[in-house]
Amino acid sequence: MLTDRYKDAVHFAIDLHDGHMRKGTQIAYLSHLISVSALVMENGGCEDEAIAALLHDALEDQGDDYQSDSPSASPHAGREALKSDIERLYGRRVREIVVACTDDEEFKRPPPGEKGEVEAWRERKAHHIAILEAEADLGALRVACADKLHNARSMLLDHSEHGDAFWERFRAGSRDNVVWYFSGMAQLFRRRAERAADAGLQRLVIELEAVTQRIRSL
């Protein structure tokens, strides 16, 4: 059963992503966060994981501009302040999952102009897959897999409306790069799900693999 922590996290996510839309659409970004959280709950996730799903994009998308309203916050602004507030409000476990799901958290970005945008994107994604493989627990993997699954489903729907021009919205730049990324993630999720015999994560992986195959055939 969900507690008031979850209800509070919904409001926190609304405030964090206020005015934020899904890329190339007029759909409120909150729709993605709620969908990912629902997938987590439907596939074996606990309340901490469901809350982390609501906040899984917080650091990457909103962390740099974040201002804490806590008088005791130190630092008072930026990613570290947001991490501290997530832990203060929802606990260390939620913070750990959110950090694990942030693909640029431990990645040193190349200087501007040193690499092409697509090359830098692939390097960042490959680094994140390696970090998840080495360090992430099942809760973080469940949230990450639910995120990729909802993104992949949304891509299929958007492609049906906009055609191949749709890929230009993304740093990936092409369908092949998207398939490379989702396939790499799915392989990681499958290895860990089978090793742990986690039925919920296994269901998510099966769906992600199926949707990735549909994207491959576009």
Return the pLDDT at 113: 52
Return the pLDDT at 112: 52
How many CB atoms are located within 10 Å of the residue 128 CB?
24
Per-residue tokens: 36: 């990912």
Per-residue tokens: 143: 């949230």
Residues of the chain with pLDDT under 70: 106-115
Which is the CATH superfamily of the domain at 4-216?
Answer: Hypothetical protein af1432 (1.10.3210.10)
Return the pLDDT at 74: 85
**In this prediction, what percent of the chain has a pLDDT beyond 70?**
95
Single-letter residue type at 120: A
Which residues fall within 8 angstroms of residue 55, CB to CB, at 6 or more apart? Answer: 9, 12, 13, 16, 33, 86, 90, 94, 98
Return the pLDDT at 107: 63
Return the pLDDT at 171: 82
Domain boundaries, the chain: 4-216
Return the pLDDT at 217: 96
Element counts in the chain: helices (H) and strands (E): 10, 0
Return the pLDDT at 46: 98
* Residue-wise pLDDT tens digits, 17-70: 999 889 878 999 999 999 999 999 999 999 999 999 999 999 999 999 999 998
